Structure 1
């Protein structure tokens, strides 16, 4: 048990130091390739009916995380058979790759740097790399809100959720979670192409993220107190607005972050040229400013550290009981 806990802690530290270098092979890219190939194969193999598409999508959505888990577990066991240190290093490396804390800080930092230079067009381009909405007409406030929202939302599914699943089942379960998350990001859409094929993947992602999203939101409220943000308002907005989203999981950390920073997030946004009406999250106690981007990053990182600390303490208590 301590072996896997140490690998997780080492992976967390590696993520804080290295992040996700673009030149390094990443398992999510392999998952994306498998999803594309699997989709093409299964669409041909199953009837072109709503029921057939739903069944084909379910086969893909179940087989990828299960296959990922057993492939990763087998690789770690094989490496450990060669030498225990090799197994530890491989698991720590994969724990590093499933976490995105430094990557989120870096990508949002590019938005912040462009805004501080007065380069609105550069900020729009930088934020377009990390959000799904249309960014070409956003003003400085819109760009800032988009960056803060993506850091807040991804605190759960990009950092805390994979950390929690790796704590339960090591890097293999953490990678299985990333497979679920990648499936949702690629095929979990309610459009003509994926309304039926991606339905199981979207529901599966909601299920896997149900508890991590809520744990992340509560942890971020606690971190708001610890880091000197508005913890009382974070708790109030979290309780009030955490379900102000079509997804049952996406608004928990956004609500905690908006409350902690005393700002209002979310609201209407354009996606592929179409205006989508969305509820706001938080109260506009003050105007949104560029400095809110690094503030959101500190909240995200503090939440991750708090969760890791809790995981390590719980695992050590279980080990010595």
Structure 2
């Protein structure tokens, strides 16, 4: 398997929810600033939690009738979100940054990890001032046959100055960065070749049976069930492979713990992180790590 171009950092994580307003309210209770609702022409709606250079995409089905069914060579974003939500809420897609989505699409095909048409779209976004501006994106999709319930693509920003906004990146819980995506599987080694190609040959740090893909921005923890239990104090089902959740960085853990207690949100606390379990966070483990 050949390796496409240079290493790519985290861009965003797609987190499926059934009720977008309820999800926004939960994330606000956790201390995140949550953006307004955006609508896509292919049937999904989202709200965004933004950090410097990366974001969380809380996504729901808005118009099931507008969803296009997938066909050979064409990935259907709406159908993937719909089918993932049918299995349950939580993180379903890992998205890395792209400097050139067309080139990445060709590289994925050459590496044998993607044979999909590239996809571009645009929409209107609203600044804190209320001004509407254009944002536009090009996507290139990849596929890991060993992880059929996990989606993978890269995202190129065409109007980054209109998308990224420091005001949206200020969170009451003090979060400064999206640190990691967490993947759990019965056999981490099965995903090594794919993730090496998808991430652009990012450096890999070895664990026991697990490993960490170190990206230019953030990391991907690829864990078996035993490691996931030890690190994130959860007992996930590792077959088939799935995304467990994500980590963010905060300056200190105790203020976050105080906020969670006041909000009545259950969590586990270790020396290095606080963990909100999936059952308390719409199917997605949320870990706060101290900087």
Normalised to the residue count of structure 2, the TM-score between the two structures is: 0.25
Q: Which has the higher strand share?
A: 2
Normalised to the residue count of structure 1, the TM-score between the two structures is: 0.23
Q: Which has the higher helix share?
A: 1
